[in-house]
Amino acid sequence: MENNGRARRIAVISGKGGVGKTVIAGNLAAALASTGCRTLVLDADLGLANLDIVLGVDPEYTVEDVLGGACSLDDALVRTPEGFDLLAAGSGLQKHTLLSKNLADGIEALLGELGPRYDIVLFDVGAGLGDVVLFFANLADRILVVVTPEPASLLDAYASIKVLRQLYGRHEFFLAVNRADPGNPRRVGNSIARHLRGVLARFVDANQPQRMSLYLAGSLPQDPEVSRSIRNRKLLLETAPTAASARAICAMADVLRAGWTSRC
């Protein structure tokens, strides 16, 4: 898979809110940056953003300001202490919660400008199945679906994968299982991945020419260090880099960038 002069794109999505998607996206960006990847994380939850809070930064400008001409792209980029850049989004802004042609064209133009500067761009996509969510997910080279072991989370993840398959023909997904039993998180992750594969094969893959692939990117244990890092507005990889959940995120970063021919 050649780079073709643009950054690789990873969308971090979840069907259901509250599963730890934004925390994983921020720490995943830090893990990728630690390997030498020039990494940008874009808060793609337009209008309802909170990635800057998780990262403990206070950006002056947002992606909405760039799109509206209030500032330049360089003005809006924030360098984080963990070595990656952030392009934040606004909160409480209704205008960009709905996808329009102008918004889609503006985002694609921004990504075209950002492409040569980075090896990897992460999208921290909003929860649910709105047009903006699906737009960012389909722009990505790889889609990471974050779930927890709760039935509602698994059902919503299944729905997200199903819609992306039916609307855009996406057939490859990666799975991050969060808040797994700390006694054996890998076993929990494998069990959930097998379950989702079975459901997808039965209800989505039938009569499709290309079979779906769902890879387990990683399984993160329930870990009090994660809550502690959130309260302190710092990343887990900064506050507890040797914690089991931090090690799982670093391993996940290796899985997600595997097979790309550039250094990242």
Please provide the average confidence, as pLDDT, over all residues in the chain.
Answer: 93
pLDDT at 96: 67
Residue 162: CB atoms within 10 Å: 17
Per the listing, tokens 């209030």 go with: 70
Cα–Cα distances in angstroms (integers) from residue 68 to residues 104, 105, 106, 187, 252, in the given order: 13, 13, 9, 47, 35
Q: CA 180 to CA 23: how far, in whole Å?
A: 15
* Every domain of the chain and the residues it spans: 8-257
pLDDT at 2: 43
Q: Residue 260 is encoded by which pair of tokens? A: 């790309």
Residue range 8-257, CATH number? 3.40.50.300
Mean pLDDT of 57-72: 95
Cβ contact 181:142 at 8 Å: no
For 110-142, the pLDDT digits (tens) are 999 999 999 999 999 999 999 999 999 999 999
Mean pLDDT of 49-73: 94
Q: What angle do CA 211, 213, 219 make, to 5 degrees?
A: 160
- Residue 152 binned pLDDT confidence (cut-offs 50, 70, 90): very high
Q: CA 6 to CA 248: how far, in whole Å?
A: 28
For 196-223, the pLDDT digits (tens) are 999 999 999 877 778 899 999 999 999 9
Q: Residue 244 is encoded by which pair of tokens? A: 């089991």
Mean pLDDT of 25-31: 97
Residue 169 pLDDT more than 90?
yes
Q: Residue 254 is encoded by which pair of tokens? A: 């290796």
Residue 3 pLDDT more than 60?
no
Q: CA 66 to CA 145: how far, in whole Å?
A: 28
pLDDT at 26: 97
